[in-house]
Amino acid sequence: MRRYLAVGLDAYLCLLAVGLLVRSCLDSGGTGRAIALLVVQLIVLSFANQVLLTLAVRASAGKLIMGVRVIRLPDAGRPGFRRLVLRWLYGLLWLPLQPWRRLRGPATARGPERPAG
């Protein structure tokens, strides 16, 4: 449960920081440019929190607040930069698409089919 709260807190803190930067983006001229600047800021803040901060102190901001650490599974050591980047990309690109993927899949009234025998 603490892990889910930490992830939610990370998302909230990142969106709060970007929300505070909205005013500077709106003065940049044009809606398209403002949206692009906000998206870039959101990605940079997310990367800094999830990869760089985790590399330095073994936890993102939300995980630090909730008292959760990120470890490498086989030996409980520090995860490397490459592993943290892959973990960040997984969370950023693949996980948000799962509800969409499930909604687009075939709806069956029965559970999954089991092979006979």
Each residue's pLDDT tens digit, 32-50? 887 888 888 888 988 999 9
Q: What percent of the chain has pLDDT over 90?
A: 17
70-107: buried (b, 16+ CB within 10 Å) or exposed (e) per residue?
A: beeeeeeeebeeebbeeebeeeeeeeeeeeeeeeeeee
Query: Is 79 among the domain residues?
Result: yes
CA distances to 3, 20, 30, 62 from 16, rounded to whole Å, are 20, 6, 22, 13
Answer whether 0.85 is exceeded by the pTM.
no
Instruction: Find the domain containing 54 and state its range.
Output: 2-92
Query: Is 102 among the domain residues?
Result: no
Query: Is 104 among the domain residues?
Result: no
Confidence of residue 3 (pLDDT cuts 50, 70, 90): confident
Which amino acid is residue 8, in one-letter code? G
Query: Is 115 among the domain residues?
Result: no
Q: Which two structure tokens, joined as six digits, stand for 15?
A: 């969106």
**64 or 30: which leads in pLDDT:** 64
pLDDT above 80 (res 28): no
Query: Is 70 among the domain residues?
Result: yes
| Average pLDDT over the chain, rounded to an integer | 81
Q: What is the pLDDT of residues 82-104, one digit of tens each?
A: 999 998 998 888 777 777 777 77
Task: With beta carbons less than 8 A apart as the criterion, state whether 108 and 75 touch.
Answer: no
On the CB side of 103, how many CA atoms lie within 13 Å of its CA? Answer: 5
pLDDT above 70 (res 116): no
Sign of CA dihedral 5, 7, 11, 13: positive
Query: Is 49 among the domain residues?
Result: yes
Query: Is 101 among the domain residues?
Result: no
Count structural domains, the chain. 1
Residue 93: per-residue pLDDT: 82
